[in-house]
């Protein structure tokens, strides 16, 4: 299986996952042109995609969804709450109903030879989910846009080969920044986003000897920067209550403007 972050950040998200016979996108929150360019960098095209999985309906996750679904007839998989919210979003445009497929948290489904398991996340959206993706005993997960985590989330992130995990903001930068109070409160709340520190603490709970790659994703452009996210998360892992040092693992940033180096596992 291969996973590649085409774009990850507060301004747009799109992740590719695939095997030799099936290919999917998780979210399409950037332009179709950028998605095509990112796929081209790993020798694929948008026409090769078998499905688009949508975590939730916020614009940084669905900006390019309408054009891709209509132009290429790509099926869209999302919860009923998310699909209803997408239909109400005039900026996405009309997507043919035949392309919509309703999924449910904790109910597995298949795309080709990939096993997909959606799981509920805590975010201020209609019915948001993260995704666990499996193929031939290899497992990856995408978990962003979470205001908090609990034992349920931890269970869904156990035993992975690859994890893309939210490291959205530095709390001090956010508190001292120019965002209005209501927005700071939203981001810091239980339906907001994970801080660098919380990302590191959650990561410490799910690391194991077989973890091959960790991507830190969905970084805020205004309240974080790559070096700070990386150093904070690594510090939490190394100093946390676990047997590992951050240097034991390949931890890197899922970039905002360029596709990250893909991992094959």
Condensed to tens digits (0 to 9), the pLDDT of residues 103-132 reads 999 999 999 999 999 999 999 999 999 999
Q: Whole-number mean pLDDT of the chain?
A: 97
Bridge-based pairing of strands 213-217 and 162-166 is: parallel
Phi, psi angle pair for 177, to nearest 5°: -80, -175
Question: What is the pTM (predicted TM-score) of this model?
Answer: 0.97
When pLDDT is cut at 50, 70 and 90, the band that residue 17 belongs to is very high
DSSP code, position 169: B
Domain ranges of the chain: 2-264
Which residue in the block uniquely carries the two structure tokens 């998200």? 13
Q: How far apart are CA 72 and CA 46, in angstroms?
A: 8
**pLDDT above 90 coverage of the chain, percent:** 100
CA distance readout (Å), 182 to 128, 198, 221, 222: 21, 21, 18, 16
Separation between Cα atoms, residue 110 and residue 108, nearest integer Å: 7
- pLDDT band (50, 70, 90) for residue 174: very high
Distance CA 148, CA 188 (A): 9
CATH architecture of 2-264: 4-Layer Sandwich (3.60)
User: Residue holding tokens 């096993």?
Assistant: 115
The CA distance from 121 to 226, in Å, is: 24
CA gap 28, 68 in Å, rounded: 8
pLDDT of residue 126: 98
Region 172-196: mean pLDDT is: 98
Distance CA 147, CA 189 (A): 6
pLDDT digits (tens, 9 = 90+) for 63-105: 999 999 999 999 999 999 999 999 999 999 999 999 999 999 9
d(CA 14, CA 60): 9
Contact partners, residue 88, CB within 8 Å, separation at least 6:
none
């Amino acid at each position: 299986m291969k996973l590649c972050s085409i774009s990850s950040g507060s301004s747009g998200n799109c992740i590719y996952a695939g095997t030799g016979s099936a290919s999917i996108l998780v979210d399409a929150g950037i332009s179709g042109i950028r998605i095509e360019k990112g796929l081209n960098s790993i020798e694929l095209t948008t026409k090769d995609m078998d499905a688009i999985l949508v975590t939730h309906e916020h614009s940084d996750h669905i900006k390019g969804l309408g054009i891709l679904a209509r132009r290429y007839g790509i099926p869209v998989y999302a919860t009923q709450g998310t699909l209803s919210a997408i239909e109400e979003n005039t900026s996405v445009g009309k997507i043919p109903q035949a392309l919509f497929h309703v999924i449910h948290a904790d109910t597995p489904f298949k795309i080709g030879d990939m096993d997909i398991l959606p799981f509920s996340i805590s975010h201020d959206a209609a019915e948001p989910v993260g995704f666990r993706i499996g193929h031939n005993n290899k497992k990856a997960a995408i978990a962003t846009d979470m205001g908090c985590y609990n034992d349920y989330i931890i269970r869904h992130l156990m035993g992975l080969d690859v994890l893309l995990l939210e490291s959205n903001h530095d709390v001090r930068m956010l508190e001292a920044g120019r965002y209005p109070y209501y927005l700071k409160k939203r981001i810091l709340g239980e339906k907001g986003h994970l801080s660098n520190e919380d990302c590191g603490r959650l990561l410490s709970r799910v690391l194991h000897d077989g973890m091959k790659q960790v991507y830190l994703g969905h970084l805020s452009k205004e309240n974080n920067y790559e070096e700070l996210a990386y150093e904070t998360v690594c510090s939490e892992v190394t100093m946390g209550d676990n047997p590992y040092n951050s240097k034991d693992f390949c931890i890197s940033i899922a970039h905002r403007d360029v596709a990250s180096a893909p991992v094959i596992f």
